[in-house]
Amino acid sequence: MKRMLVHRRALVTGGSRGIGAAIVKRLAREGADVALTYVSKPDLAEEMAQSVRTVGVKAIALQADNADAKALSAAVDQAVQELGGIDILVHNAGIAVMAPIDDFKLVDFDRMLAVNLRAVFVATQAAVKHMHKGGRIITIGSCNAERMPFEGGAVYAMSKAGLAGLVKGLARDLGGRGITVNNVQPGPVNTDMNPATGAFADKLRGLMAVPRYADADEIAAFVAYLAGPEAGFITGASLTIDGGFTA
């Protein structure tokens, strides 16, 4: 089977675990050389990079906290240097702090906006200096941008709704340069941070048309399509893959 992303260079933030790891693996299987960022656990990140090298692509792990603008910009520059350029940027890294509005701490508010929203601006600004026609920028948002059905998620929902707005504006800024910008909005996905078992998972399944959690590979497949040549006419879109959570 023909691989869609041969000779393409990708950077995935937060690519050592969960949805990010699935995206790294899928892009690599499609032929892309891949850099991934991580915050902690360098052994896990290097293990991920080594595993995708086995399919015959370059892969590097770069330490960078999304909340640290200088470190994130430096990681983009290092990825460009070591991979020889950048064609695909996937903003996957994100955090979720849930608390009632009376108890929500300002430090958590600031960090969530820094990681979930400001970092997308920072990394995009660094990457587009090196990105050419055919470039792809993909953000991993959340269906909670459109529906927040439980208490404590106001700030998280705001950060992901803001991301959808940023994507629309970036699509206008970069469309003339042949670069597309899209936002993938997953629903519940089975990861170590959000397992598909337990009382909370049971509650979420009750809100969905398809009452199950997604597998991370399903999200990765969607991202790979948007990164590929057949998606060149899709831009500025927030595309929901949520089992009918927002239906």
Region 209-225: mean pLDDT is 98
What are the residue ranges spanned by the domains of the chain? 9-240
To the query of whether residue 156 is one of the catalytic residues in this protein, the response is: yes
Total residues belonging to the chain:
247
Taking a C-beta distance cutoff of 8 angstroms, is the pair 165, 117 a contact?
Answer: no
Q: What percent of the chain has pLDDT over 70?
A: 100
Mean pLDDT on 31-52: 96
Q: Which of 38, 156, 213, 225 is flagged as catalytic?
A: 156
Asked if residue 1 has pLDDT above 80, the reply is no
Q: Compute the mean pLDDT over every residue in the chain, rounded to the nearest whole number.
A: 97
Look up the pTM and report it: 0.97
* DSSP-based three-state secondary structure for 59: strand
Q: Within a 10 A sphere around the Cβ of 129, how many other Cβ atoms?
A: 10
166-177 per-position pLDDT tens digit? 999 999 999 999
CATH of 9-240, one of 3.40.50.1860, 3.40.50.2300, 3.40.50.720, 3.10.310.10: 3.40.50.720
pLDDT of residue 2: 85
Q: How many other C-beta atoms can be found within 10 angstroms of the C-beta atom of residue 142?
A: 30
* Position 193 pLDDT exceeds 90: no
